[in-house]
A and B are shown apart, each in its own frame.
Chain A
Amino acid sequence: MQPFELVRAPSPSDAAKLTKDEETRLIAGGTNLLDLMKLQVETPSRLADISRLDCAEITDTLDGGLRIGSLVTNTATAVHSRIRQDYPVLARAILAGATQQLRNKATTGGNLCQRTRCFYFTNIDQPCNKRNPGSGCGAIEGVAKLHAVLGTSDQCIATYPGDMAVAMSALGAEVHILKEDGTERSLPVRDFHLLPGDTPWRENVLERGEIITVVTLPPPVGGTHYYRKVRERSSYAFALVSVAAVIDIEDGVFTRADLAFGGLAHKPWCNPEIGAVLLGKTPDASLFEKAADVLLQAARGFGENDFKIPLARRTLRAVLSQAVEDAA
């Protein structure tokens, strides 16, 4: 790693101020940042330790939802009784990710901000427009098994690798951001991450001088929750394709189909039109195909990741079929 100054941020607003400096990174769990610093993908000259800030609680909101502090670890979120009871898709998604050792350290805020696992991004000798704007994209005609099939640009085909954010997107969670002037803003997690476009180095809406403080979950809607993660081994591997779903089937028709997809894009993929295809309809094979058609209408493979397109279709179909089976 390159040398850096380590400072401790005494408060969230101090932390927000520290991020105004280009060369400063916040460090909480550190499981992504330190990985990248050892590879010199990240080379901050200052680290602001926020790991002991008072943002590590899960509390009820007035409307019956939940507030998850940005420093709550993945483990603490997944094992919380209200999460397990009322938002199981979130617990499932978190537990499907990484390992217990990593989940014990990874934080809500950090996990939202985690960076891609693209081989060209993580190797500083390789062309990568995200890491080194203008240098090109090695993946587009290179090794692209992990890469995106939706929302790509000619500059970048990287995927967002996380699971938690996919479930949060399906649940309609909101992320709350504190600015260094003390004001706050919030927006749906669905809108937190960005597509690469012409600015692949911009991965989310955070500006310098901003810090995530809390993620809120709306009041629980019930339904049956699914997180299906398809990967090359049954644990400790990133998703090739994942589906987060909150489903309700009443009187033989879909009354709820909140869906989000991982492994397919630079962000968790959320298209309300997919669920809209299902609402009010009787589940059957052709309906599932229609939903998959909407999901994949603009899908484009890059050779090695062509498989993700039929795989996404089949995974969605499998989740919906499972939901039907469970409703019976």
Chain B
Amino acid sequence: MSMNQTDNDGKARLDDMTQGVLGEPLPRIDGLAKVTGMARYAAEYPIDNCAEGVLVTSTITHGTVTRLDTEAALAMPGVIAVIDDSRLTTRAAQGTANEAPQQAPVTVCYWGQPIALVVAESFEQARDAAKRIVVEYDVSPSPPLAPGDVTPEEQEDDTVSEGDLEHAMKDAAHSVDVEIMTKGHASAAMEPHAAIADWDGERLTVHASLQMLNYNITELADALDLPEEKVRLVARYVGGGFGSKLGISQDVVAASLASIKLKRPVRVVLSRQQVFQCVMRRSETTQRLRLAATSDGKLIGFGHEALVSNLPGEEFCEPVLQSSHFMYRGENRELMLNLARIHRMTAGSVRAPGEAVGMPALEAAMDMLAEKSGVDPVALRLMNIPDKNPESSLPFSSHKLAECLRQGAEAFGWDGGPRKARQRREGEWWIGTGMASGARIHSTKESKARVTLLADGTARIETDMTDIGTGLHDPCPNGRRDARYRSCDGAGGHWRHAPPPGPRIGRKLGCGFDRLGGLPRLPRDPRRPRCAGRVGRGCARIARWQGRRRSQADRCSRRRQPIP
């Protein structure tokens, strides 16, 4: 019997396992800390002898730094050093990069790129001094800034060309051929990126605002040419990420380099302006939607093409067509994703990469088709849901869009009434009705957690997860509501196990745990049954872990491309 199959009483086996906890509204474990201002974010740890660093950023778009005149800055009160180490990173790492992002700040690729770090005793001293560095550049003329300025690179994995869409468009009873543009976005998390790095001569501990600590350790160690075992990251509270804190940002590396050099803790906080200028943007898009339909609205042709942009040397390409590949039928298909290399700041993951900009464009085109064909917008979607993946012909294991559309239509009283914009006015608001399908791919990957039941009746849960506000401090204790929850703030450092092959995605939370070369075996009281405490039916085994050091050979190979 499968887990979600209901019995005669309408209950599914899964329902029995909620233990009265899962699916119930519960206050957040960290709520009290947050509402009283006790939760500490990256820049807020009281660390003795901490110096303050402020990044110096480029005022040209493309070229080379030929001279960094630090004399005036170094003479200012409180200024300790100017760091212009070649290991400074110039870009944020992409999510799951697992290696250092672009370094060598002497090469400037975009306006606002960090090129050096000023360190002083106080923040005001550092901020002032950062503006007194005199930079000379060898400026590269006319760097391409608009996607239309360059020949784009086709992303061949996305290219689909089946049948004859052009012909289908000509023959169709109804067709839509529209260009839709979307602007770039910034994650704009409330907490600016910040890091406090502390090198004690042996080990580097960094309090930072990051979302994927397992990867971030590798990225940071790689950037610094340090063995990973010497790097510890702590990110207990993260003030929002929305994609901008997936890979290490420049403040983390800069603070680390400064601490190593100066042999004291260094804090670097990006200004709000710097967050907007040098971390991540979502690429703008220019999309072409082509829909060809029969007289009753059935799609016989489906075209979705997009042009996005990124810096040279970046692998990320906004996956605009991600859900378009499977959303709707249409045997004559043209899908293509092109990437233009331009000299604007790094484009990367911003909240729902791909669908956030691809779906609205697709659905706008579908609405245009509904209007042209006179078919009800909900009916139009329903009749165009494919019964198999339209490109691979694989059957769907489950497909719930039709059910969503029907339930939604019923809940909103969709049937009845004219469908048009601006149907009525309330004060200064025009009110109309509309709808759209939504989809978002989800990568299902292996992820790991370790639960240890301790002799004192508490459970320790260790997993590489961070809470950016999603409430993931909570599922850990919630699954063991009857056990006392010891806050995972209690331990220190970040625990790593040997990674499985391939990237780890899925929800990632981080508490801080020390990296342990090998875990002690728990003494087993022979008087107790194998499963101490109630852990719920079906969850009987406790795994015992022996961590092992990850060898240097396991490290991902460098895949950086040279900058043209």
Contact = CB atoms under 8 A, between A and B. Distances in A.
Is any CB of A less than 8 Å from a CB of B in the complex? Answer: yes
Interface of A: 1-3, 38, 40, 124-125
Nearest to A40: B131
Interface string B105-132: 0000000000000000000100110010
Given A1-B128, A40-B131, 8 more contacts: A1-B124, A1-B127, A2-B128, A3-B128, A38-B127, A40-B128, A124-B131, A125-B59
A40 B124 CA distance: 12
A2 B131 CA distance: 10
3 closest pairs, A vs B, by CB?
A125-B59, A40-B131, A2-B128
A132 to B, nearest CB: 14
Interface in B58-81: 59
A1 B127 CA distance: 7
A46 B128 CA distance: 16
A124 B130 CA distance: 13
Determine which residue in B59, B124, B131 has the highest number of CB atoms from chain A within 10 A of its CB, and name it.
B131
Contacts of B131: 40, 124
Contacts of A38: 127
A1 B271 CA distance: 13
A25 to B, nearest CB: 17
B72 to A, nearest CB: 12
A125 B131 CA distance: 10
Contacts, number: 10
B36 to A, nearest CB: 21
10 contacts: A1-B124, A1-B127, A1-B128, A2-B128, A3-B128, A38-B127, A40-B128, A40-B131, A124-B131, A125-B59
Nearest to A123: B273
Give the interface SS of chain A, mostly helix, strand, loop or mixed.
loop
Nearest to A38: B127
A23 to B, nearest CB: 16
Contacts of A1: 124, 127-128
B116 to A, nearest CB: 15
A3 B59 CA distance: 24
B383 to A, nearest CB: 38
B557 to A, nearest CB: 39
Which range holds the interface residue count of chain B? under 10
Contacts of A2: 128
A144 B131 CA distance: 26
A1 B59 CA distance: 19
Interface in B119-149: 124, 127-128, 131
A38 B124 CA distance: 9
Contacts of A125: 59
A3 B129 CA distance: 11
B452 to A, nearest CB: 47
A2 B127 CA distance: 9
A172 to B, nearest CB: 29
Interface in B481-539: none
Contacts of B127: 1, 38
B551 to A, nearest CB: 47
Nearest to B57: A125
A61 to B, nearest CB: 36
B344 to A, nearest CB: 14
A7 B131 CA distance: 25
B74 to A, nearest CB: 16
Contacts of A124: 131
Nearest to B76: A3
A124 B128 CA distance: 13
Contacts of B124: 1
Nearest to A125: B59
A3 B122 CA distance: 12
Contacts of A3: 128
A1 B126 CA distance: 10
Nearest to A234: B428
A263 B128 CA distance: 33
A209 B506 CA distance: 65
B425 to A, nearest CB: 14
A125 B130 CA distance: 13
A212 to B, nearest CB: 30
A124 B57 CA distance: 13
A320 B362 CA distance: 41
Nearest to B271: A38
A2 B132 CA distance: 10
B52 to A, nearest CB: 14
A124 B127 CA distance: 14
Contacts of B128: 1-3, 40
A124 B59 CA distance: 10
A240 to B, nearest CB: 16
B69 to A, nearest CB: 16
A324 B131 CA distance: 55
A1 B128 CA distance: 6
Contacts of B59: 125
Contacts of A40: 128, 131
Nearest to A3: B128
Nearest to A39: B273
A3 B128 CA distance: 8
B511 to A, nearest CB: 35
B274 to A, nearest CB: 12
A149 B68 CA distance: 41
Nearest to A122: B273
A16 B59 CA distance: 38
B47 to A, nearest CB: 25
A111 B151 CA distance: 50
A258 B131 CA distance: 47
A38 B272 CA distance: 12
A38 B128 CA distance: 9
A307 to B, nearest CB: 16
Interface in B165-186: none
A3 B124 CA distance: 9
A1 B131 CA distance: 9
A124 B131 CA distance: 10
Nearest to B59: A125
A3 B131 CA distance: 13
Nearest to B125: A3
Interface string B48-59: 000000000001
A144 to B, nearest CB: 17
Nearest to A124: B131
A192 to B, nearest CB: 31
Interface string B318-332: 000000000000000
Interface string B446-487: 000000000000000000000000000000000000000000
A2 B73 CA distance: 12
A2 B130 CA distance: 11
A123 to B, nearest CB: 9
B54 to A, nearest CB: 12
A274 B131 CA distance: 47
B254 to A, nearest CB: 20
A125 B61 CA distance: 12
A40 B131 CA distance: 8
Nearest to B58: A125
B164 to A, nearest CB: 41
A125 B127 CA distance: 15
A2 B59 CA distance: 20
Nearest to A126: B59
Nearest to A2: B128
A325 B442 CA distance: 54
Nearest to B112: A125
A3 B76 CA distance: 11
A234 B559 CA distance: 47
B59 to A, nearest CB: 4
A148 B127 CA distance: 32
A124 B124 CA distance: 18
